Amino acid sequence: MKIDHTQPLEYSTQQNQLNILGFWIFLGAEIMLFATLFTAYFIMENRTGNGPTGPEIFEISPVLFETFILLTSSFTIGLAVHAMRIGHKKAMLAFLGITLALGVAFLSAEINEFIHYYHVGATYQTSGFTAALLTTLGTHGAHVTLGFFWGLCILIQVAKDGINPRTANKSFIFSLYWHFLDVVWIFIFSFIYLKGMM
Amino acid sequence: MEFFERFAVPNPNPAIYASMVAIVVVSLAIIFGLTYFKKWGYLWREWLTTVDHKKIGMMYLISAILMLFRGGVDALMLRAQLAVPDNKLLDPQHYNEVFSTHGIIMIIFMAMPFIFAFMNLVVPLQIGARDVAFPRLNAISFWLFAAGAMLFNISFVIGGSPDAGWTSYFPLAGTEFSESVGTNYYMIAIQISGIGSLMTGINMITTILKMRAPGMTLMKMPMFTWASFMACVIIIFAFPVLTIALLMGTTDRLFATNFFTSTNGGMDMLWANFFWVWGHPEVYILILPAFGIYSEVISTFSGRNLYGYKSMVGSMVIISLLSFLVWTHHFFTMGQGALTNSIFSISTMAIAVPTGVKIFNWLLTMWKGKIRFTVPMLYSIGFIPLFTVGGVTGVMLAMSAADYQYHNTMFLVAHFHNTIIPGVVFAMLAGLTYYWPKMFGFMLNERIGKWGFWFLSIGFVLAFFPMYITGLNGQARRMYTYSEATGFGTLNFVAFIGAGLMAISFCIIVFNIIYSFKNSPRNVGEDPWNARTLEWATHNPVPEYNFARTPHVASSEAFWDAKKRGHELFKGEIEEIHMPNNSGVPFIMGVIFFIAGFSFVFALWVPAVVALIGIFACMVLRSFEKDDGRHISVEEIKATESTYGGAHS
């Protein structure tokens, strides 16, 4: 494995560069995936059948909490990558750990939100609107869940093997994924919750 | 329905029982044969665990040919049912299932693996790479395709096939009207193989962007590589839409959500829109690589470089963009208003322009060329007039006002077969014959190949041209029978004969493979066709590492320049080569995906959850694995090169 020391660690082998480009293309596909979900949501937004409408079920405080947590986690994963770049393993592990903990906090808030929806009679089967809402939120939530376990695997590897071209590459790609989830959340926050509450 | 009822044989009749017996007998014969000849180890080491792009390509090819026969038998059943008026061969439900599976099998499980076969076999060789960017992912893509295909194929013996057409329009495809598990198979089998397709798209784009030989700029890439690249770009944008549509369709059927229902805010047109936002670009995913193969074949057998290289690339880019702006032409008659119809009418017709540019470029490549009428060239020459007819009828259909006459008639069926068969199937058969020596080191028999071509072409014209007439006269598609008084009988019988001739032609092609395997001379050399592009600069069949030394490229026809102008392709010494290791994980993941898919189809939640955990376990395993592959030493490469005749040693 040839290592090019003029490049940052995560780009330092040819396979690493391929991995990163491949992942960017994958994110392109993910953008299409969420764009499709948003399209479905916008079409279903007012098709509430006999069920409740958006303004009736949305609550601002849990959503603000979720947004705050997720945005913070995007910042901490950025710090983790910075720590990785300067070769500070302990700091990197700490920030990675904080990111994942924030991910769990986000998920538990979201699960609470879903339970709330269930209690106010907005279940998956209620209407076209609730199906689209819960599928969009659920797909994002599933991505965060997957990201949590993925990040956990990487955390263990960095702890065991230290920062090397392999783990640096994985961590960097994971950070791209995590930022992407944040970007999607910003769209969810703006175009589902805020728009729905206005 | 009761638990066990769901697993029942859907259409209990002698033909279904016979195919069930055939499936069991063939499976037993394969198991027995592998055990008797002690080939399990060979199968596992060389094929099931392979990450070599060439072997994966061959497996795609074999799957595509098998599926061609499965879809072909469906087609014969359809034509036989319609051959005479008031026929009682198939009952209406069975007919619905047969035309639905015919469409899916041919598009998703025949044409897609066919183009992936050639992408895998040819693209890394054309750009002078050692493998694709992500060899392991490539194997996963294949096994996901295989899992989806197998899942779809067992539907006609366990539980029932999809019966709502290949487009599976809701609410017809909802649980209310489509009661069997057939549509569950549809949603989940396509989902699984679709994930594989998406990953192939990512893999190929990365490969093409990052792994080209030194000197090969984007505008020096051979045309098939360009075509594959554009097709993969379309895949990236189109397949996620399908993923979501299928997800929603699945939850509608399994969890009673209301996406596409007609009550509680559901919207059936949403399915139709999503389906065609994927579905229309899909036809260009299929046709662009086919165009790529024609470009290679026509320039090789005309002895000339491809006319209008830049306009060829440009037209593909325009086709890719336009492919996303036409989906609404599928609902001209569904009441969306004159303005929408006009816009999509124009954007649809506009695709004929870049396609026409390509046709002219092929004709001008042949002009003043020294044409050799080999089998691949015959398919390419046959393609041009036949495909043009299909294109012109496409423009007819694109006129929204006139579409009220053609809509859902046999005219439409004739049109899309007229583009897909000469466009894609002819190209794949041309590519099969053309690249056969590259894969296996011997040529297919030309004489038998020509018989195959003529049977296919004549059969095609007889099978589909009558449908234009019956369609204009009002024969609806998807109707399982018609009365004597309509007067459709004679033309439908002609179409039945044509279908028979096409079936014979596919048998001839398979016979050709067997015959040539036994009788063709080996050691055909590295360049049996006097070809022009880089893939012919290495041995036939290709060694594991493709090129002993990385080629240096100066034009889009590097190999031709090397032969005629003394351009030096291979410079420097042989160095050791890095190769990926084989892995059983992709195959195992395919198996688990199959189990998960089957459990979802029948709503068996416990095995479904277990299988999903298995999939995640495979991913975690991969994450912790440290596999940097292996190196082939210089001595080993030199030894291999000399056994191949030492052309470049």
CATH number at residue A141: 1.20.120.80
E strand or H helix at B71, and its extent? helix B53-82
Q: Specify if B594 maps to a domain.
A: no
Q: Specify if B103 maps to a domain.
A: yes
3-class SS at B367? coil
Check if the beta carbon of residue B56 is closer than 8 Å to that of residue B446: no
Give B236's contacts in chain A (Cβ within 8 Å): 25, 28-29, 32
Mean of per-residue pLDDT scores for chain B: 93
Number of domains in chain B: 1
Q: Specify if B488 maps to a domain.
A: no
- Band (pLDDT 50/70/90 cuts) for residue B437 is very high
Dmax (CA) for chain B in angstroms is: 78
Closest CA to B157 of B101, B79, B234: B101
Q: Note whether A87 contacts B: Cβ–Cβ < 8 A.
A: no
Shortest distance between the Cα of B204 and any Cα of chain A, in A, equals: 9
The percent of chain A in helix, strand and coil, each rounded to the nearest 5, is 80, 0, 20
Question: Percent of chain B at pLDDT above 70?
Answer: 99
Q: What is the pLDDT of residue B648?
A: 47
Shortest distance between the Cα of B203 and any Cα of chain A, in A, equals: 7
Do strands B577-579 and B630-632 pair parallel, antiparallel, or not at all (unpaired)? Answer: antiparallel
Q: Specify if B223 maps to a domain.
A: yes
3-class SS at A58? coil
pLDDT digits (tens, 9 = 90+) for B48-103: 999 999 999 999 999 999 999 999 999 999 999 999 999 999 999 999 999 999 99
pLDDT of A112 above 50? yes
pLDDT digits (tens, 9 = 90+) for B507-554: 999 999 999 999 998 888 889 999 999 999 998 889 999 998 999 998
Q: Specify if B7 maps to a domain.
A: no
Q: Note whether B80 contacts A: Cβ–Cβ < 8 A.
A: no
CB contact under 8 A, B211 and A36: no
Do the interacting molecules here have an ipTM over 0.90?
A: yes
Shortest distance between the Cα of B391 and any Cα of chain A, in A, equals: 30
CB contact under 8 A, A128 and B205: no
Distance CA B514, CA B507 (A): 11
Mind giving me the DSSP string for B420-447?
HIIIIIHHHHHHHHHHHHHHHSSPPPHH
Q: Note whether B248 contacts A: Cβ–Cβ < 8 A.
A: yes
CB contact under 8 A, A157 and B623: yes
- Band (pLDDT 50/70/90 cuts) for residue B645 is low
Q: Which of residues 114-153 of B touch A (CB under 8 A)?
A: 133-134
Q: Specify if A3 maps to a domain.
A: no
Give the angle B339-B341-B344 at the CA atoms, nearest 5°: 110
By CA distance, what is A15's nearest residue in B? B133
Distance CA B41, CA B559 (A): 38
Q: Note whether B243 contacts A: Cβ–Cβ < 8 A.
A: yes
Distance CA B550, CA B631 (A): 16
Q: Specify if B541 maps to a domain.
A: yes
Q: Specify if A2 maps to a domain.
A: no
E strand or H helix at B578, and its extent? strand B577-579
Least confident segment among A52-66, B137-151, B448-462: A52-66
Find the CB nearest B274 among A19, A36, A156: A36
Shortest distance between the Cα of B237 and any Cα of chain A, in A, equals: 6
pTM (2 decimals)?
0.95
Check if the beta carbon of residue A21 is closer than 8 Å to that of residue B132: no
pLDDT digits (tens, 9 = 90+) for B179-232: 889 999 999 999 999 999 999 999 999 999 999 999 999 999 999 999 999 999
Give B240's contacts in chain A (Cβ within 8 Å): 29-30, 32-33, 36
List phi, psi (to 5°) of B364: -70, -25
| Interface size, chain A vs chain B, as Cβ–Cβ contacts under 8 Å | 115
Tokens standing for residue A182: 């944040």
Q: Specify if A148 maps to a domain.
A: yes
Q: Note whether A143 contacts B: Cβ–Cβ < 8 A.
A: no
Distance CA B570, CA B534 (A): 11
Distance CA B283, CA A90 (A): 52
Cα dihedral B34, B38, B39, B41, rounded to 10, equals 120
Distance CA B464, CA B468 (A): 7
Give B257's contacts in chain A (Cβ within 8 Å): 124-125, 131, 135
Shortest distance between the Cα of A18 and any Cα of chain B, in A, equals: 7
pLDDT digits (tens, 9 = 90+) for B598-610: 999 999 999 999 9
Of residues B17 and B505, more confidence is placed in B505
Q: Note whether B266 contacts A: Cβ–Cβ < 8 A.
A: yes
- Domain range for A13 is 9-45+59-197
Q: Specify if A165 maps to a domain.
A: yes
- Domain range for B550 is 48-65+91-367+518-583+627-644
- The CATH number of the domain holding residue B549 is 1.20.210.10
Give the angle B437-B213-A165 at the CA atoms, nearest 5°: 120
pLDDT of B647 above 70? no
Q: What is the pLDDT of residue B20?
A: 86
Q: Specify if A189 maps to a domain.
A: yes
* CA atoms within 13 A of residue A76's CA, in its CB half-sphere: 19
Tokens standing for residue B573: 């010494």
SS3 per-residue string spanning A2-32: CCCCCCCHHHCCHHHHHHHHHHHHHHHHHHH
pLDDT digits (tens, 9 = 90+) for B359-386: 999 999 999 899 999 999 999 999 999 9
Number of domains in chain A: 1
